[in-house]
Amino acid sequence: MSEVQIFEGAMDKGLEGIVACSTGVSSIQGNTLSYRGYTIEDLAANSTFEEVTFLLWNNRLPSAAELEKFQKSLAAEYALHPDFIKSLKTIPSKDVHAMQWLRTAFSLSSHWDKDANDNSNEANARKAIKMVAKMGTIICAFEAIRNGKEPVAPKADKSIAWNFMYMLKGQEPKSDLVKIFDTCLILHADHELNCSAFATRVTTSSLSDMYSAVTSAISALKGPLHGGANEQVMIMLKKIGTIEKAQEFVKDALAAKEKVMGIGHRVYKNGDPRAAILRKISDKLTAQIGEHKWYEMSILIDDTMNKEKGLMPNVDFYSATVYYSMGIPVDIYTPIFAVSRIAGWIAHADEQYANNRIYRPRGKWVGKTDQTWKPLSQR
């Protein structure tokens, strides 16, 4: 038998436990999530999404003057080119998954950026601003177009969180909801080497352009085991329907060895710190809209899964009821993830460009060996 090269330590289960790169963007240590050394609790309580984006890209918090300049640079890029909007209207939007539409639309947006294929640091800095500024505008355009309306133009004197809620519904949002939504953006901005961040880095490692890298990330985010989980959580809760049926649903799912969406995490073993923050927000908002049952159902599922399997909720679990309480369409939940996480994707792309080697892992061979071709007449 010919010699077959064997690679020890092949991890067929999602590269679990494998360290794929060094990063200074964000880290998970035990039950603590930090962006550039600042805990998520500290940032959620005190920061803004724009400030956190600056932090992720610059490895430090901005001064007041720097933050003002950064916010103005983002605001200057909120709006979409009229010709781009015309093109968006030609993308089928009826009975289409929102992330499918976003994947196409975001990739198409590169055609209106003269820096698209320039990988210099200066061009990438300009692209980064445009991408973060326009992501929310693109998603709100989708909501308008599929409902036969004209997209609402953003306001340059407002934040990304304010503008998203304004453009999505066409009316000025309440300040308390803007603050909550801004907190949600902070919580989702990055999460170490998650699936979409890894997809970003793999594409970046070929020295492809940043639009291609982020399009790869959007494609990864679409999956129900990644960003799509928050959408599935709300679908699950609606399917259950009542508090009385929630515990029975969980026990049936466990008996059938089915996954309960939004529960469990590959890295956190003692609970996702982002979920703890969102749990409090969910309690408050569901009560405000007179539909506290969604929170009560969530708590029951949470407690039952913890008791029965030792599993705790991840960020998707309570974000579903938070977004529902804010009147956001269920299929927009995952695109919202992209509005925030694009800040982290860009930070990972920048880090990869700065210290690059193309990703080229090996596969452990488990197929046949010593095969010999035979003519058709002998098979």
Residues tagged active-site: 265, 316
- Give, in degrees to the nearest 5, the angle at Cα 240 between 236 and 242: 135
Q: Edge-to-edge, what's the strand order for the sheet holding 38-39?
A: 26-29, 32-35, 38-39
State which H helix or E strand residue 33 sits in.
strand 32-35
The phi, psi pair for 313, rounded to 5°, reads -70, 150
List Cβ neighbours of 146 (8 Å cut-off, separation of 6 or more). Answer: 93, 94, 96
Query: Could you give the CA distance from residue 287 to residue 213 in angstroms, rounded to a whole number?
Result: 40
Query: Could you give the CA distance from residue 243 to residue 277 in angstroms, rounded to a whole number?
Result: 22
Residue with tokens 């790169």: 21
State which H helix or E strand residue 27 sits in.
strand 26-29
Largest distance between two CA atoms of the chain: 79
Name the residue among 254, 228, 230, 194 with its Cα closest to residue 16.
194
- Give, in degrees to the nearest 5, the angle at Cα 163 between 132 and 158: 95
Q: What is the DSSP letter of 32?
A: E
The phi, psi pair for 97, rounded to 5°, reads -60, 135
Name the residue among 248, 195, 15, 214 with its Cα closest to residue 106.
214
List Cα–Cα distances, 3 to 6, 284, 366, 369, 371, in angstroms.
9, 64, 14, 9, 13
What is the bridge-based pairing of β-strands 26-29 and 32-35? antiparallel
Query: Could you give the CA distance from residue 67 to residue 54 in angstroms, rounded to a whole number?
Result: 8
